Amino acid sequence: MKRIILGILAITLLYACTDVLDKGPLNEVTEDEYWTTSSDLKLYLNQFYPSFGQHINYYSMDSNSDNAASNSPSEVLDGTRAVPGSGGGWSWGNIRDINYFFENAFNVTQGDQTKIDQYIGEGYFFKAYFYFQKLKRFGAVPIYDKVLTLNSEGLKAPRDPRNEVADSIIANLDRAISRLPVKSQTVSNRVNKESAILFKSRVALYEGTWEKYHQGTEFGVEGSNGQKYLKIAENAAAKLVNNNQFSIYSTGNPERDYWKLFNRTELSNNPETILSTPVEPEMDLGSFNWAYLLGTRAANGWSATKQLVDSYLAEDGRPIGISSKYKGDTTIVQTVRNRDPRLRQTIWVPGTIQLNYPDRNVNFDQPVLVGGGASTTGYMIRKGSTTDPEQNSGTSSDERGATDGFVFRYAEALLNYAEAKAELGTLTQDDLDKTVNLLRDRVDMPHLTIGVGYTDPNWNFPSLSPIINEIRRERRIELALEGFRYDDLMRWAAADHIQGMKIKGARFIKGESFPPEMENDMENIKVDGNRYISPYKNSVPDGFGFNESRDYLYPIPEEELAQSENLIQNPGWE
């Protein structure tokens, strides 16, 4: 009788070992003994939930983008990557483990059939989730539906076309959607039907815009302009937008509500939550933490960029380049004045309360630019912070805080719907009012109109329509530092936006946002001719060198290419 692979099962059982005490030693559990009840399916699937992330770190989730900067420039955006010898993300362990699940899951007969169906649905979701990571990173990849051994011919399988991979992902999500319970009928932090629907809209929007904007290049799909997937994205997002099950979190306080959304210790009952994590107490996935979010240090220098800060509109709903409300950026306080409230709820501004003790407040004073934990740009990240001293206690990051974090939130569904319709050319004012403008209502910003009503000389994508530029701006602002920006730039084929970009930060003027003595440490605080912090002034003097004929996809490792004559390297990496 075959033995279950010890490595896989041991990981699984760590999360809920008390449920299998009657099943013998770990290395003696057999397939016949294990794959019998719905609980076995649940325990096996628990190993995949950490893939959502055990900690939400808003300071680093937008790495490899123009939203955030660290001590070192992004080698992805700068075009300095090399083909790795091995590794490089070309790992199939999760895919193998989920295929192993499906080779056994349909044999389970004991337990509530609805629970069996639910867990099989979770399996399909995770297979789609893991394959989407591969699609984004490498494009075309082999589609594996069976567990492979060291001698399997499938190990040398060629890559399937990227649109077939996308179709496979969407098909697995449809299988998941048909089996998963709605959020109200399952444990609050397990994958539910609505999260699979939102993920389907994310996958389809990604592939639809990828095929549209990469059309005619080596990265595109011959004969496709992405319309098929954009329609799928619209239809999936519409199921969430039109069902009145979710809403945008708001207490009516535009100066706090956006910030408060990301520092809550309980998200399961939040109207904006489609799926949150940590998943379940018995999974012991750890808690989220507030390390580096007090504004007293920046992890590896991670900070918001001037590029991100400048994208926020003035309070009159107009870009800062044409609004009389904008007062300049001599200081950080001045920078956020008369701006979209989400800006001052995303970055630290001098005078903002850091800690709220019963007898006193501790306020943020000034960015840290010198020494340990120095900010790369001066725009230190406030999003995800809390003023609760109990949440900020402890001497290590693992001791700080215990809060839920979003895996999927309703705001993304609204943005996916608006963008898909805009790309299809079917967006209406009613669509804007039930999507983008709900997000603006939370922070009391003027509504976006279908005609936009202005021309921004600093639009990131000047060749595209005003409405697409503004929907992309809204996506950037609402989802800032949540890990979407890199994927967005890649699917939009945004090389023109990236190439030559010089990351900037706050304006460094003696005696303003920063103390005069910092002028004595100019070796560590690099500025350009206009006194804006320019962290990569010496290392990337000409700006990012993104190679549009190569850098949209990652290279396949040399080791993998040597082992299979059927694998073909991605464009530009040959």
Question: DSSP string of 63-99?
Answer: TTSSSEE-SS--HHHHT-----SS-TT---HHHHHHH
Closest CA to 551 of 494, 501, 502, 500: 494
**Cα distance between residue 441 and residue 266, in whole Å:** 23
Residues found in the chain: 574
CA 429, chain centre distance (Å): 28
Q: Quick check: bond before 278 cis, omega within 30?
A: yes
Report DSSP letters for 427-491, one per residue.
--HHHHHTTHHHHHHHTTPPPP-TT-----TT-S-TTS-HHHHHHHHHHHHHTTTTT-HHHHHHH
- Residue 205 phi, psi (nearest 5): -65, -40
Domains in the chain and their CATH numbers? Answer: 35-61+86-288+403-497 (1.25.40.390), 291-401+502-543 (no CATH)
Sequential pLDDT tens for the chain (574 residues): 344 443 444 334 333 332 322 333 444 456 767 899 999 999 999 999 989 875 567 778 899 999 999 999 999 999 999 999 999 999 999 999 999 999 999 999 998 999 999 999 999 999 999 999 999 999 999 999 999 876 777 778 899 999 999 999 999 999 999 999 999 999 878 999 999 999 999 999 999 999 999 999 999 999 999 999 999 999 999 999 999 999 999 999 999 999 999 988 788 899 999 999 753 444 433 333 444 556 677 878 899 999 999 999 999 999 999 999 999 999 999 999 999 999 999 999 999 999 889 889 999 988 888 887 889 999 999 998 888 887 665 444 444 445 578 999 999 999 999 999 999 999 999 999 999 999 999 999 999 999 999 999 999 999 999 999 999 999 999 999 999 999 999 999 999 999 999 999 999 987 666 666 666 666 678 999 999 999 999 999 999 999 999 999 999 999 999 988 999 999 999 8
Give the whole-angstrom CA distance, residue 183 versus residue 209. Answer: 29
- Look up the pTM and report it: 0.92
